Structure 1
Amino acid sequence: MDRKMSRKLIAILTICTMIALMLPAYALADEEVPEDNGVVQNGEEAVGQDEGVLTEGEDGEEGELEEEEEDVEEELAEDEEVAEEEAEEVDAPSEWAVPEIELAIENGLVTEKVLSNYQDDITREDFCELVVKLYEALSGVEVQLPEENVFTDTENPEILKANALGIVFGKTETEFFPNDNITREEIAVMFYRALKAVHPSLVAESFEVTFADMDEISDWALEAVGFMSGKGIIKGLDGNIVAPKANTSREQAIALVNRTYELFKDVEIEEPVEEEVEEEVEEEVAEEAAGDEEDGENGEDEPEESEENGEEPVEEEPEEGEPVEEETE
């Protein structure tokens, strides 16, 4: 009996001991969940903290990107400045032409169109615009636009004015070819005609052509080339050649226009006879000629010199041996 009771007690103690041992384990298990949750939460918090770190990283990256963009923009701006400087250098006139161009601008001898691409060859159209300005500056007369346009390939008023002044003509009766480049001998002729249009006395001198390549100058340009070179406006190139068929750059044309103006601007020009006076003189001459013809047809003799002087004619005595003619009524 005692043994049975002892066994039961031992069993009960064993069970109690086991329960006592198991309860803390369950308690720990229950506590581990919130700890895990805490870990997760901490992890989430960590993630949140990490996110905060990432946010800071993103801010840093954005800052770096902005800096890179600024650097790129600065580089682009620098490239643009360099390109503009290079373009300006390419578009800038040659050093020798700078003072000529500045003076031509001051004298009002240029157009905006020719103040760029200075090394490009000048066209017939562009040079017409310059030579009309030269004529107006020297003559003090504003050229009026003619009513009729004789050309079918241009409506440029300066070309029409130059044509009306007799400074330039078309390559055909109806075509001007405004975009063709102009040669050195053509420029010489246009200058010569412009000066002559201002007043013939300006081109009264003649000069001998002494260029080594004078045989290449067209016959119709020989006088003009000689005059312009003799005046020191058109100068020879290396080897004493004038290169009459070569083209002329914009800066060269501007320089030539300015030299011509500076040379002739102070030359005194006689006032031309008014057209009305010329017409009256021509009418008087025509009337006198018509009157003389009528007198001849009527058989009237011209008065003798003594009658013109207001003296009565003296009858000459016949020489000896010469029969005297009797007057008949």
Structure 2
Amino acid sequence: MKKTAFRIFILTGMAILALQNSFAQKRSPAYVWPENTTGDYPYYTQAQADFLCSDIKQTTLVITEEKIKKAGINSDSKERISRYLNETTTPEERGRIKTIILDVANPDVEPLFAYDYKMNWAHVYPRNLKNLWLSPKVDIKKFLKEVIDVKAKSMFASTNAPMNSWDCTLYVPENQLPKGMRGIFENSDDPLSVYLLLRFKTKTYSGDVYAAAKLGDKATKLHCNNHIYDERLATIDKIYKKSTCKNMIKYYYSCKFCGKCEYNPNHTFTYEFSEDKPEPIEDGKFYGHHFIDHKITKENFIGINSRGERVYWKSCSQCGNNIKDCNSSPKVFNRATFDFALGTGMDGTYEQYMEIITKQWNTVYKDEALENASLEFDGPNSFAVLDKVAKAKVSGKAENDVNWAFQNGLIDEKVFGNDYTAKITKLQCASLAVNLAEKLTGKEIMPVSKLAFPDTENIYARKAAAARIAKPSGAFNPNAVLSRQQMATYFYRALQYVKRNSRIKYTPYTPKLEKYSDNAQIAKWAREPLGFMDTLGLIEKTSKKTISPEAPCTIETAIATASKSFYADKIGWYQARTVVEADARFYSSNRTAQHFLDCAVSGNDWGGWLRYVYTGGTRIWVTGPRVGSSRNYAIHYPTKNPYNGETIYVIAEDFLPIKAD
């Protein structure tokens, strides 16, 4: 019986594959990837990334009756657009299509809107499409009806897939929609149709479609000057705030006639999705912490385990509280949270529950946390580190960075006093920079002669000179206080030493120091170092608009900068890997949005699945090293939602870093 079932399974799979390949699909050319894109430190060079980037060399695809016929496709075929895309373009060519001009009668809609992998022609979907021009040959109302039928099959809440946000525009002849979408929706009794068709932008044009497309957006109209913002469109470009432990996901309202977003933070709504159209719900407490932060602070300290390691509670990346407090502290797990998360169906009162749960976290859960965590593996609720933390005075905001600097071997306590809030000296900063360089390269820096400086023979001064972190001769001035720009320059030079003496490379970047009101104070020699450190987020700015280059630097600020610099090569531009690299990796089948290997999706963003689809060749800026529920399961990169700037997380294996030549 089992063998028969297995044979049926195999035969069914073969039949599906045969059906998918029943038409001549245009294949990608064979490509041999350079060694730098494989191995244990894979990356793209700038040239390689540009070659694959979907935002470079974007194309316009014109589809006409003549071209379809020339491709050998029956003009009566109900799937002729699907087949044309399948048989005349490769996946990477489809990834570069920015504009399509559709100049055929009765085109099939699915390949232009089928972003759900379960649909028959999802694999030919042009995932970077921004502009879809329909010629007068297309019956617009019939076309839109078919769009509704296709989009209703896949009710993704929030995806940036083409024709699912206002990043994409449908251009139609004005004589077919003289009032634009407003003419359709003013007396509409079908709220689902409104919801589906307003997710993308629709504009009208007059005259010849080719002439209008050449002129672009300036030759079109929106036909909706009197917006009424009461439509609830749950699309990714209209998210005000993602769902967190503090709030459920919130969206801005949109115009009921054209879909334009109001972007008014005082006028938002929250959805609860059903099989049909999403329905609004009242905002309330949302119990959904995400314990991925590993912060070495006094508040999170549990104790010393049997292996002599320091053990800490994990923290929520959203509210900052540790897992114990989130579950047992009245300040965090208050009565409102109890009623929302556990109240219904619970026997007993809030006070009775808190008495029991507090005792458990202080006894049973504490003991489990101490013994479950080790240097090698995290526990479910805790993590362990070496018994090395700061004993000197440190401010709360710097405590975690300072303690991680101890863990990474960057601090020589003998060089520093007992107050890390004090101003840092040149020798102290040199010790941090030298330790950073040696840890990252795995090699000791050979110091210059003891006679190099007339005012010190200190080993850190001599190593700093040898690594070109400090000047190799003249007075060293070991006790001189450093400014913030001097400190940044020391660490920049240390990282450049690492680049010269290891395989570590850094991202290409564009400095943006002009955004600071005090950028004129930056010394000429410090502009390149400070530009690098600021762009990569390695040095904290002093306010939204100031970086204070001439201000004295404190010890803890320098240590925090060194701690962030330890991961400098993990920060910067990354690019989604492409279909032509399919042999270099494996996509698991549960990644629905990139089933056909030509896109990546934002992974569990620990605050709502946003389904932000990154087509192969799409670039993102990664803001830090990998993160995850445990250090040995760190499979996500943090990045920014391009629409609202919030932190989201992408699956790391789907991306390669871009390194400067």
Q: Which structure has the higher relative contact order (CA within 8 Å, separation 6+)?
A: 1
TM-score where L is the length of structure 1: 0.50
TM-score where L is the length of structure 2: 0.25
